[in-house]
Amino acid sequence: MKIASWNVNSLSVRIEQVIGWLKNTSVDVLCLQELKMESSKFPAQLFHELGYQAIWSGQKTYNGVAIISKTPLTVEQYNNPYYADAQQRLIAANIQINDQTIRLICVYCPNGSELGSDKFTYKMQWFDALNVYLKEQLNTYPNLVLTGDFNIAPDDRDVHAKYQGDILVSPEERQQFSNLLALGLHDSFRLFEQEEKSFSWWDYRQFAFKRNAGLRIDHLLISNALTKKCTASSIDKAPRGNERPSDHTPVIVTLDMTA
């Protein structure tokens, strides 16, 4: 089965691209971030017509997350129960596959703006609370996928030279990423040989995509139990070359749940 994540930077602008991508890839699960859409406007019917169910949590102008799945979504969670947050940045649910439960947690992590800012403090507190939630969730669900836009490039390999030492790559942010791995999560992308300079986001400005001046900030973290079932993890760069693209492109993990 394939599980994907895509920060679409406005679902209303990107809906045709998302539907087209689902038709082409037929992933089992797609986690979306940055809907920038009120919940009442979520186009659930368009996903139903393709055979997908959906749960979502939106708000006007900013943030917003959703999970689209071919199989039923249960035990839904909207927002982190350990963090009172008006910003819609976390949604979670279970899927059943071959009599096994997989816990899916979809996140749009804060950007942080700049080091030392109030938004950076919010980012750190948000990740502290995410860590508490994940510790609890991993105790309950051995098969767990934490995916989304982390707004952290975990390693120098994940960074175009220009961004060295700045927001998204600071030691404090990378420590937050390490803290999640320390709970028993793995960066699925790094379980496999990958091309150098593999990124998931490129600035709209200065032909950054054409120059491959990007960052790898969208991730699929999988629990210990799932590493044995993980057969691939990749980035699909194609949608970033679309007309009017999102600045992020989808990331995909493949799990063999018969193994």
Q: Which residues are annotated as a binding site for Mg(2+)?
A: 7, 34, 149, 151, 247-248
Part in contact with DNA (CB under 7 A); list of ranges 66-74, 98-106, 113-121, 222-230:
113-121
- Residue 62: how many CA atoms within 13 Å on its side-chain side? 7
- Smallest gap from Cβ 163 to DNA, in A, equals 8
Contact yes or no for 35/14 (Cβ under 8 A)? no
- Indicate whether 210 belongs to the interface with DNA (CB under 7 A): no
Tell me, yes or no, if 141 is annotated catalytic.
no
Q: Binding-site residue total for DNA (CB under 7 A)?
A: 29
- Indicate whether 119 belongs to the interface with DNA (CB under 7 A): yes
Part in contact with DNA (CB under 7 A); list of ranges 60-68, 139-147, 171-179, 223-231:
60-68
Q: Which two tokens stand for residue 233?
A: 């993890």
Q: Is the dihedral of CA 191, 198, 2, 221 positive or negative?
A: positive
Residue 244's contacts (CB-CB under 8 Å, 6 or more residues apart) are 13
Contact yes or no for 131/180 (Cβ under 8 A)? yes
Query: Which residues ranging from 17 to 56 are in contact with DNA (CB under 7 A)?
Result: 34, 36-37
Q: Which two tokens stand for residue 91?
A: 């949604």
Query: Which residues ranging from 84 to 103 are in contact with DNA (CB under 7 A)?
Result: none
Q: 52, 133, 149, 218: which one is catalytic? A: 149
Q: Which of 241, 109, 115, 100 is closest to 169 using CA atoms?
A: 115
Helices (H) and strands (E) in the chain — how many of each? 5, 14
- Smallest gap from Cβ 141 to DNA, in A, equals 27
Among 48, 60, 211, 228, contact with DNA (rule: CB under 7 A): 60
Which residue's CB is nearer to DNA, number 139 or number 206? 206
Which residue's CB is nearer to DNA, number 65 or number 253? 65
Query: Would strands 2-7 and 29-33 be described as parallel, antiparallel, or unpaired?
Result: parallel
Q: 160, 186, 219, 248: which one is catalytic? A: 248
- Indicate whether 10 belongs to the interface with DNA (CB under 7 A): yes
Phi/psi at 16 (5° precision): -65, -40
- E strand residue ranges, the chain: 2-7, 29-33, 53-57, 65-69, 74-78, 90-97, 100-108, 144-149, 185-187, 201-202, 214-215, 218-223, 230-235, 251-255
- Indicate whether 244 belongs to the interface with DNA (CB under 7 A): yes
Tell me, yes or no, if 187 is annotated catalytic.
no
Tell me, yes or no, if 108 is annotated catalytic.
yes
Among 57, 79, 151, 176, contact with DNA (rule: CB under 7 A): 151
Residues with catalytic roles:
108, 149, 248
Binding stretches for DNA (CB under 7 A): 7, 9-10, 12-13, 34, 36-37, 60-62, 110-111, 113-114, 119, 149, 151, 167-168, 201, 203-206, 215, 217, 244, 247
